[in-house]
Chains A and B, each alone.
Chain A
Amino acid sequence: MAKIIKKVKTIKVDADKCNGCRGCEIVCSGFHATPIWSSINPARSRIQVITDRLNNKWLPVFAGQYTAAECMGRNKYIIDGKEYEECDFCRASCPSRELFQEPDSILPLKCDMCESIPPLDQPKCVEVCLNDVLTYEEREEEVEEDVKVEDVEIGLASLIDKYGRDKVIDIMARMAEKTKPAA
């Protein structure tokens, strides 16, 4: 099987340095506004600073996958004497909370690392953080190119989840018809 080079993008979060200013939320929402910078709304941000001031908790978290259902059981962690809910670290756009959902439509939000044309040197949240809480890292990994059946299944499952089985089958059939090789 062929080998390919894959670019892995990471934002390292040094939460101990966070002063809680939420500048990251502000620029994220402005950068993703249409047109760009036409409006600001931290509730639309793909990064949120989870804050519990009197318990000394400031934790920037990025939006990850959408989940249709909240967890049945949740863990608690004690780190440096501070108690964290599992939700504090969770990146999911989840029905149990307001985070990572468009406030108007409730559609899920997900961090896209500010991918744009032309590409940025680093995501906007990293650029605006003057306290070096966020560090952008890129690394290249050599991986085998293969078709991940599970990924396709997950993708389809979420489409079915969102639009219903019949609609997805209908669209698939239509697309298959369009792309059918000539006889």
Chain B
Amino acid sequence: MRYAETGYNLEIDLATGNIQRVETDPKLMETHLGGLGTSVKLHWDRGGLDVKPFDDENLFVVSSGLFNGTPAFSANRTVCTFISPQTHLLGYPMMGGFFSAELKHAGYDKIVFRNKSPKWVYLWIKNDKVEIRDASHLQGRGALETQDLIRKELKEPRAQVAAIGLAGENRCFTASIEQSRSSCSRLGGGAVMGDKKIKAIAVRGTKDINLARGEEFMKLLDGVKDYINFRNANPIPDVMTILAGIGSPQEMVHTDEKWHTENFAWGNARVRRKDFWNKENEANWTSTQLATVKRLISCYNCPQHCGGLVSFQGGPYYMMKCFGKLTYSMAAYVDDLGFNFRILQRATEYGVDSFSTPQILAFAVELYEAGILTDKDFAGTSTYEACPSDNEGRFFWLLDRVVRREGIGDILADGVYWAARKIGNGAEAFDHNTIKKHEQLPLKLGMMDPIYYLMYTTNEKISITQIEGNFPQAAFPTMEQREAFVKDWPQIPDEKFKQYVLDWEPRGEMANPYYPTPEIASEIVDWMEMLHNIDDALCLCAGMASFCLKPPYHINNYPQLISAATGMDLDREGLKKIANRSRNLHRALNNIRGMSRADEKPPEDHWKKRFPDIEENLLSTYYKFKGWNNNGVPTRATLEKFDLGYVADELEKRGVLKDGQDN
């Protein structure tokens, strides 16, 4: 019997319509856990090294993780993996919601799509019955409305559906995959799904998921539950509101947006408005949010309220989360939060990433204002009007063009990096907020921050928001605050991390950019990314583990939980080894696809005060700490330590790693 996992994948050949239920190797759980871990291995083994994003052979893998379907609180993520059209690296956006548990109850850990369908289809899975169904009647439909249309058509109100909108159909590089209150948004998963002509995936499952030592697992979860209750009742003092709690940032609960609106940059990541959160704006934004958020909602088996069911002034209901609440208003320089609620409804139905897309639209506006784009690019045609001149109207117009790939929208739909190079004529200079060709948070700050420098530049996720986590974002001003913070901190992998917090000063020699030192910053980042790697293999929400301060799940309770669920004999060192194995495999795959040290740098204006020598030292120290050579490629010794000798062979065969190279 298989525990925690189902032991089967669904293999779908879209070209021939062939559907197979394939048993997986039980050993893979011991070496890669599941979720992202086993998906990376699958891409490595099956063509992920050479394939291009829109090739037939680019596998599109929809995966659950090891904990989905178990009673583990907040195990609700689904990870989609594919070669990203934007970065040409292995992308792995994740969504919460309700999909993964349903997939496992239907009897499958992953769905592996290969090739392309000749016509629009959706996949319907009900336990052992799996059908590729015609979706021509759903073409052009919104990503949310499609979910309900399919449930109605199938007469299956309890089916969970992941769908793309117009943006995915038209292969926009920022197209998302929407599902319930969540979405796989980053790196163009919706575009790859659209390229394969998969409009949606619907699943209903009524099978058991087995636990190896269920009673022990539930006792451990009692501890987790008590800690969730404790943390909900005891927010962390002396940190900004959204960092005080657990879960994803509680943007639907909190109305205080002083930190976001004054520290994040408006427009195309341009301007910090340090006086924005005045009494008038605070009153307007607060009343708008309270009137619009109709209910606080969660993902599967999670007690938190990270999502909101919203309806602006009687408009259609949709669901939102996190920073998407602000991104369009801030990118468009619109001081009214109502605008964000209105345009996000349309954007959600179109199915676009609400981080990247507003920046792309703001980038276009900047190019127009700089004369690089002209009235000709914003003109109307026989099918649509010319672009309005007001900020709100301009954003709605640009969004419509992008998702339909009409006119200038066809170029913008590839994201800022690629659009800047296609437009030329100086547009490249306006691409000032991408790393590895991907739009980052609109965050432009003063002093270079060593921990953030490493997280921004080196992680395979290519998105800072999903890398940071357990370590404080900034030094506490007073020693009393630091002592209070470290006093009750069971989540740390080693006691030394307490000292790092105690020693970290807001200013002076023991402050950024000199402290944390490159060695200490490497240790901290290694801890953060290890936790993310484990979360992503379990498909447990990072908001309850790697993404927040003092979370309920951590490196000190994960091994026992995984052991009880799966029956594997696993301790902390064993779990760390699995996380390292997955990370190095992922790294090597991206190295073969061309990623190297040259790609690992934040934009020039990311911080006002830069320190080239310190930054170079940071990167070199971190590479060494990770056992990578000076170009960011894992060495043979490192790979062999994690039983990845076959990876070293491939890297050497391709000349990515020179024979005997270890620095």
List chain A positions with a Cβ less than 8 A from chain B: 16, 19-23, 26-27, 30, 33, 35-44, 51-56, 58, 98, 103, 128, 130-131
In the bound complex, what is the Cα–Cα distance between A23 and B75 (angstroms)? Answer: 11
Residues of B near A43 (CB, < 8 A) are 105, 205-207
Residues of A near B318 (CB, < 8 A) are 54
Residues of B near A22 (CB, < 8 A) are 98, 300-301
In the complex the two chains form, is B225's CB within 8 Å of A128's CB? yes
In the complex the two chains form, is A37's CB within 8 Å of B211's CB? yes
In the bound complex, what is the Cα–Cα distance between A43 and B156 (angstroms)? Answer: 13
Whether, in the assembled complex, B208 has its beta carbon less than 8 Å from a beta carbon of chain A, the answer is yes
In the complex the two chains form, is A38's CB within 8 Å of B180's CB? no
In the bound complex, what is the Cα–Cα distance between A38 and B213 (angstroms)? Answer: 7
The interface centre, meaning the residue of B73, B144, B295, B296 with most chain A CB atoms within 10 A of its CB, is: B295
In the bound complex, what is the Cα–Cα distance between A26 and B148 (angstroms)? Answer: 24
Residues of B near A131 (CB, < 8 A) are 303
Assess A41 versus B206: contact at CB under 8 Å? Given A27-B71, A98-B158: yes
Residues of B near A33 (CB, < 8 A) are 208, 214
Residues of A near B298 (CB, < 8 A) are 19-21
Residues of B near A98 (CB, < 8 A) are 158, 206
In the complex the two chains form, is B211's CB within 8 Å of A39's CB? yes
> CB < 8 Å: which of A23, A38, A42 contacts B105?
A42
Residues of B near A26 (CB, < 8 A) are 71, 301
Contact size range, B: 35 or more
Whether, in the assembled complex, B181 has its beta carbon less than 8 Å from a beta carbon of chain A, the answer is yes
In the bound complex, what is the Cα–Cα distance between A41 and B105 (angstroms)? Answer: 7
The interface centre, meaning the residue of A21, A23, A35, A52 with most chain B CB atoms within 10 A of its CB, is: A21
Whether, in the assembled complex, B617 has its beta carbon less than 8 Å from a beta carbon of chain A, the answer is no
- Add 10 more A-B contacts to A37-B211, A40-B70, A56-B317 (CB < 8 A): A19-B295, A21-B299, A39-B208, A39-B209, A39-B211, A41-B105, A53-B181, A58-B297, A98-B158, A130-B229
Nearest neighbor of B222 in chain A, beta-carbon distance: A127
CB distance from A65 to the nearest CB of B (A): 21
Whether, in the assembled complex, B165 has its beta carbon less than 8 Å from a beta carbon of chain A, the answer is no
In the complex the two chains form, is A54's CB within 8 Å of B148's CB? yes
In the complex the two chains form, is A39's CB within 8 Å of B210's CB? yes
In the bound complex, what is the Cα–Cα distance between A33 and B148 (angstroms)? Answer: 32
Task: Give residues 254-311 of B contacting A (CB, 8 Å).
Answer: 294-305, 309
In the complex the two chains form, is B319's CB within 8 Å of A40's CB? no
> CB < 8 Å: which of A21, A35, A52, A130 contacts B225?
A130
Assess A130 versus B210: contact at CB under 8 Å? Given A21-B298, A58-B295: no
CB distance from A95 to the nearest CB of B (A): 14
> CB < 8 Å: which of A16, A19, A27, A41 contacts B208?
A41
In the complex the two chains form, is B297's CB within 8 Å of A19's CB? yes
In the bound complex, what is the Cα–Cα distance between A53 and B296 (angstroms)? Answer: 12
Residues of A near B319 (CB, < 8 A) are 53
> CB < 8 Å: which of A19, A42, A55 contacts B296?
A19
